[in-house]
């Protein structure tokens, strides 16, 4: 057996809302390659969202979201969360942000959500209506679970690591740009996932982070004292082999990796879904304070409009902008 790991992110560029790094790990037959799960699971997943086809979409999250909105992301995430649950478990609920974080967050207890009034975890999420047909993702998840078992594929990890705005701004204030912060979060998440497969061959695929081509320092920290071979570092990909004594590790960092690696595509879905659930709470909170407020996705083109309208609310509630607005 071997382990396929994929990592991707969502929300590096926006001014509002969290940045989220996500990782997916599958234990597979040793011959399995990064794109192989699409073939193995073709009866229960598809690459693109379809309103007429109940199979969850595993592809580039931006394309899935554009085709089906948050509903399409929700369908995929809940199918895989249900598949990861034990056979005796009933339908998994993701109605609140708290439930999303309980099932997906890498370290849910460490997230300081209580400092952000708009992320209050005890209320129903505006997205709860997406789950009106509660049994459908459960049934889909069970079909997916049976297919995974039949094809000797095991879901090892479905993890998302949100970086809330306050933490983002603290890192920047200490001299780290957002590229360095993204790399640090990726390294932390990878280390936690790798700890679950220490004695197995591993193939890691990452989506290239901006224009970064060189990942040796990160891998040296992840695998201290282990010889590292650099196979390729160019505009197309960065490829490394880690001569780990117990089992080899290959690391591939590629542009548009979600097109070629199933686990990266699913990580892309997890990251985008988690960020959108945070943004749903943020928009719902401020819409309750300002009637007819148009929601925001948090990007630079629209964030100034949103901030101009809600600043009086922030002042009235005594909320510092450093909890809401990224410094870069």
> What are the residues facing 6 on neighbouring strands?
24, 205
Quickly list DSSP for 106-147.
SSGGG--GGG-GGG-TTS--GGGGGGSSTHHHHHHHHHHHHH
**Residue 196 corresponds to which tokens in the numbers above?**
């679950």
| 3 pLDDT higher than 80 | yes
For 18-68, what is each residue's pLDDT tens digit?
Answer: 999 999 999 999 778 999 999 999 999 999 999 889 899 999 999 999 999
**Residue 296 corresponds to which tokens in the numbers above?**
């925001």
Query: Rounded mean pLDDT of 259-277?
Result: 97
For 173-224, what is each residue's pLDDT tens digit?
Answer: 998 899 999 999 999 999 999 999 888 999 999 999 888 999 999 999 999 9
Separation between Cα atoms, residue 178 and residue 183, nearest integer Å: 9
pLDDT on residue 36: 95
pLDDT on residue 132: 44
pLDDT on residue 4: 97
Mean per-residue pLDDT over the chain, rounded:
91
Separation between Cα atoms, residue 293 and residue 8, nearest integer Å: 31
Separation between Cα atoms, residue 246 and residue 12, nearest integer Å: 35
pTM of the model as a whole:
0.95
pLDDT on residue 137: 61
Q: How far is CA 200 from the centre of its chain?
A: 24
When pLDDT is cut at 50, 70 and 90, the band that residue 135 belongs to is: very low
Query: Rounded mean pLDDT of 62-88?
Result: 90
CB count in 10 Å sphere of residue 35: 15
With beta carbons less than 8 A apart as the criterion, state whether 105 and 112 touch: no
Residue 123, phi then psi, degrees to nearest 5: -105, 165
> What are the residues facing 205 on neighbouring strands?
6, 252
Residue 318, phi then psi, degrees to nearest 5: 70, 35
| 17 pLDDT higher than 90 | yes
Least confident of 85-89, 152-156, 244-248, 274-278: 85-89
140 versus 119: which is more confidently predicted? 119
Among candidate residues 125, 153, 136, 140, the one with its CA nearest the CA of residue 24: 153
Is the four-CA dihedral 47, 157, 230, 219 of positive or negative sign?
positive
When pLDDT is cut at 50, 70 and 90, the band that residue 110 belongs to is: confident
- Block residue for tokens 């160019």: 234
Which CATH architecture group holds 2-279? Answer: 2-Layer Sandwich (3.30)
Query: Rounded mean pLDDT of 235-244?
Result: 95
For 298-322, what is each residue's pLDDT tens digit?
Answer: 999 999 999 999 999 999 999 999 9
208: left (phi over 0), alpha (psi -120 to 50) or beta: beta
């Amino acid at each position: 057996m071997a382990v396929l790991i994929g990592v991707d992110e969502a929300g590096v560029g926006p001014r509002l809302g969290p940045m989220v790094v996500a990782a997916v790990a599958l234990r597979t037959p040793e011959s399995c390659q990064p794109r192989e799960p699409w073939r193995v699971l073709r009866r229960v997943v598809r690459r693109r969202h379809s309103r007429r086809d109940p199979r969850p979409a595993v592809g580039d999250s931006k394309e899935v979201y554009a085709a089906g909105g948050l509903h399409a992301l929700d369908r995929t995430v809940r199918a895989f969360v249900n598949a990861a649950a034990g056979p005796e478990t009933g339908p998994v609920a993701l109605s609140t942000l708290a439930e999303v974080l309980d099932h997906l967050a890498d370290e849910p207890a460490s997230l300081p959500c209580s400092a952000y009034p708009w992320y209050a975890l005890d209320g129903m999420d505006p997205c709860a209506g997406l789950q009106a047909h509660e049994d459908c993702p459960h049934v889909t998840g069970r079909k997916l679970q049976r297919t995974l078992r039949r094809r000797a594929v095991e879901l090892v990890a479905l993890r998302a690591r949100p970086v809330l705005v306050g933490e983002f701004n603290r890192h920047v204030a200490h001299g780290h740009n957002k590229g360095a912060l993204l790399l640090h979060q990726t390294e932390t998440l990878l280390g936690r996932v790798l700890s679950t497969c220490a004695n197995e061959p591993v193939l890691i695929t990452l989506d290239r982070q901006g224009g970064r081509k060189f990942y040796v320092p990160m891998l040296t920290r992840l695998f201290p004292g282990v010889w590292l071979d650099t196979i390729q570092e160019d505009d197309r990909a960065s490829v490394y082999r880690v001569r780990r004594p117990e089992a080899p590790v290959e690391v591939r960092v590629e542009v548009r990796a979600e097109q070629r690696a199933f686990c990266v595509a699913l990580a892309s879905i997890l990251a985008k879904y988690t960020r959108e659930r945070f943004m749903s709470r943020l928009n719902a909170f401020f819409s309750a304070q300002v009637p007819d407020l148009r929601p925001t996705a948090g990007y630079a083109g629209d964030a100034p409009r949103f901030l101009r309208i809600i600043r009086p609310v922030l002042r009235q509630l005594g909320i510092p902008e450093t909890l809401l607005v990224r410094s870069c």
